[in-house]
Every structure is written in C-alpha cells, then in structure tokens.
Amino acid sequence: MSRRRSILVALAATATIAVAAGPVPVGAQDAEQAKSKPTKVKVRDDFYAPDEVTIKKDKKVKWVWGNVNIDAHDVKLKNGPQGAKNFRSLTASIGYSFTHKFKKTGTYDIYCTLHPTVMEMTVDVK
C-alpha cells in the first residue's frame, strides 16, 4: 500500500471513530486542549523564536526545528532555579522537536551548546 493511501485510510478510520464517539462539547474540548498544549518555540539557524516565554508551573515548552536549517542545534539548560532538573535535547538540524515540562517556578536560562553566544533564551515559570 502506498504511503499516501495509508495516510488516507488512517484519516478515514479516525473520522469514523470520532463520529461514532459522538460530539464533544466545544468549550470543554477547547479548555482541555489549552491546558495540555505546550508553548512552542522555533529553533532556527542562530536563534530561538521567541527568545523569552512565560508559562505557568507544570506546563510544557516544545522546541521545534524547522525544515530550512543548515546548521545543527540543541536546547540545554544553562541555569535554573534551585532543585530544577537539568535537561538537554538531542542535536538536530531539521524535522525534530523536544518538549520539557517545567515543574519549578523561577527563571530558566537556555542555550544551544553549539552556538552559545548567539542562541540563548529565557523561560519564566510563574
């Protein structure tokens, strides 16, 4: 089976299941998605966008590598609040994403270990 046909079959099956399950109240669905949806940060050649984000405690940030990068990049905690768990993504150039859940309030300084002087960002957790 071709990849395109496989995707179409999967989409049709998903739609059938969704119809069989019945409607979900729109307000409840939107509220649930907003709770679990991570804040997205683009990883591009020599910058993160945005380079500052503010989130609530126990929320996630998802870094997404674009499909136009030439250089490889990563995401690593440089400094964080006392007791914060250290983290580091894999090194990648395109088509990769990395998600981290922030469990402590405070300011997290993040950088790319390959481009430490130009790729920096801050996550403030309230």
pLDDT at 47 over 50: yes
Q: Are strands 59-65 and 39-44 parallel, antiparallel or unpaired?
A: parallel
Q: What is the mean pLDDT of the chain?
A: 82
pLDDT at 15 over 90: no
Indicate if 31 and 45 belong to the same structural domain: no
Indicate if 73 and 90 belong to the same structural domain: yes
pLDDT band with cut points at 50, 70 and 90 for residue 118: very high
Handedness of CA 115, 107, 123, 57 (dihedral sign): positive
Domain hosting residue 4, numbered range:
1-37
Indicate if 46 and 85 belong to the same structural domain: yes
Is the pLDDT higher at 69 or at 33? 69
Whole-model pTM: value is 0.72
CA 6/CA 12 separation, integer angstroms: 10
Tell the residue number behind the tokens 């729109």, with chain if given. Answer: 26
Report the pLDDT value the prediction gives residue 99, as an integer from 0 to 100.
Answer: 98
Report the pLDDT value the prediction gives residue 36, as an integer from 0 to 100.
Answer: 75
Indicate if 63 and 121 belong to the same structural domain: yes
Indicate if 95 and 119 belong to the same structural domain: yes
* 50-105 pLDDT tens trace: 999 999 999 999 999 989 899 999 999 999 999 999 999 999 999 999 999 999 99
What is the domain count for the chain?
A: 2
Indicate if 49 and 10 belong to the same structural domain: no
